[in-house]
Amino acid sequence: MMVAANTETTVSPAAQAHGESFWARNRHYLLLAPGVLWMVLFLVVPLLMMVYVSFWTQTTFSINSTLTTKSWETFFASETYFGALLRTLRIWLTVLFLTLLIGYPAALFIGQFVRNKTTQTILLVACVIPFWTSFLIRVLAWRPMLGKEGAINILLQSAGIIDQPIEVLLFTELSVIIGMVQIYVVFMVGPIAFMLARIDESLIEAARDLGASAWTIFRTIIFPLSLPGVVVGAIFVSVMVLGEFATASALSGRKVNLLGNIIVTQVGSLKWAFAAVVGVILTVVMAVVITGLLRVVNLRREL
């Protein structure tokens, strides 16, 4: 009887060690590979394509891949389009300031004066309740509030504060700012309240024992330790406000054009090259803003 040959493959210790060392050396890169591939395919490639399309030749009814800078020249030479860029930056700065001005005291109350974790959670959830309804409903709800015969004017006239309705409350840049502040202030409250809740109470007690005033404690302890939350909230608000178009259309009666509104209009008119130009400019503006905010504080170290 023939004895069956042993077919098992024996891996030498050197080869096994080589294989293990390969996976050990490269496991971080292999774990990152799916995420990096996703970002390259769905972020980097579309951005590069948008830059490329922005140099295409745009005619009235067609577009071809002949490279030209005409669309870029049109944007910067037009007072309307360049004015939209300046208006977008102005509204962004105003909304960012107002959301911080309104959101920080609310976050300070939740994070410092409310010590019970359950109550903190309830208050934060209450801030998020408006997001349980449609974005469009929340925006359009301001129209009967801000109109010439809206609730605000009726209340002011009933109280005898004004004789005639205030007309600048609706279909103006002011109405757009009011709508954006109400919608996005919660994105400032959440991160700041989270950072304030993490502050060690013993630091504040030690400062009080040493005779520090409430303003000194806030200036030297509370605000510096809450700065990472301010930066995170500012990034959230900035990204959403800079890309806005729906709120401006609904509350300004299309009288206030932001960069987002121009992109929507140009895409609807099949002006792909010009829409790509505005998209590239908006992307660069967002990148500069976020980079500047990230330089305020090292989030990797603080969070």
Both tokens of 280, joined, read 């590239």
Both tokens of 218, joined, read 């806030």
Both tokens of 51, joined, read 């830059």
Q: Which of 176-180, 189-193, 239-243, 251-255 has the lowest mean pLDDT?
A: 251-255
User: Is pLDDT above 60 for 6?
Assistant: no
- 3-class DSSP state of 166: coil
Q: What are the C-alpha distances in Å from 215 to residues 73, 208, 211?
A: 51, 11, 12
- CA pair distance 160, 108, nearest whole angstrom: 35
Q: Which residue has the higher pLDDT, 76 or 31?
A: 76
Rounded average pLDDT over 127-151: 86
- CA pair distance 66, 57, nearest whole angstrom: 6
User: Is pLDDT above 80 for 210?
Assistant: yes
What is the predicted pLDDT for the residue at 5? 47
What is the predicted pLDDT for the residue at 2? 46
Angle of CA points 197, 200, 203, to nearest 5°: 130
Rounded average pLDDT over 38-61: 92
Q: Provide the β-strand partners of residue 57.
A: 64
Rounded average pLDDT over 34-44: 93
Residue 164 — pLDDT band, cuts 50, 70, 90?
confident
What is the predicted pLDDT for the residue at 11? 52
User: Is pLDDT above 80 for 161?
Assistant: yes
Q: Which of 24-33, 192-201, 203-212 has the lowest mean pLDDT?
A: 24-33
Both tokens of 261, joined, read 């509104």
Residue 258 — pLDDT band, cuts 50, 70, 90?
very high
What is the predicted pLDDT for the residue at 13? 55
What is the predicted pLDDT for the residue at 237? 96
Q: What phi and psi values does residue 57 have, to the nearest 5 degrees?
A: -85, 120
What is the predicted pLDDT for the residue at 266? 93
Nearest to 233, CA basis, from 201, 174, 187, 202:
187
User: Is pLDDT above 50 for 3?
Assistant: no
Rounded average pLDDT over 182-187: 93
Q: What is the mean pLDDT of the chain?
A: 88
249-285 per-residue burial string, b: 16 or more CB within 10 A, e: under 16: bbbbeeebbbbbbbbbbbeeeebbbbbbbbbbbbeeb
Sign of CA pseudo-dihedral 246, 248, 254, 257: negative
Residue 163 — pLDDT band, cuts 50, 70, 90?
confident
Do 88 and 242 meet the contact criterion of CB atoms below 8 Å apart?
Answer: yes
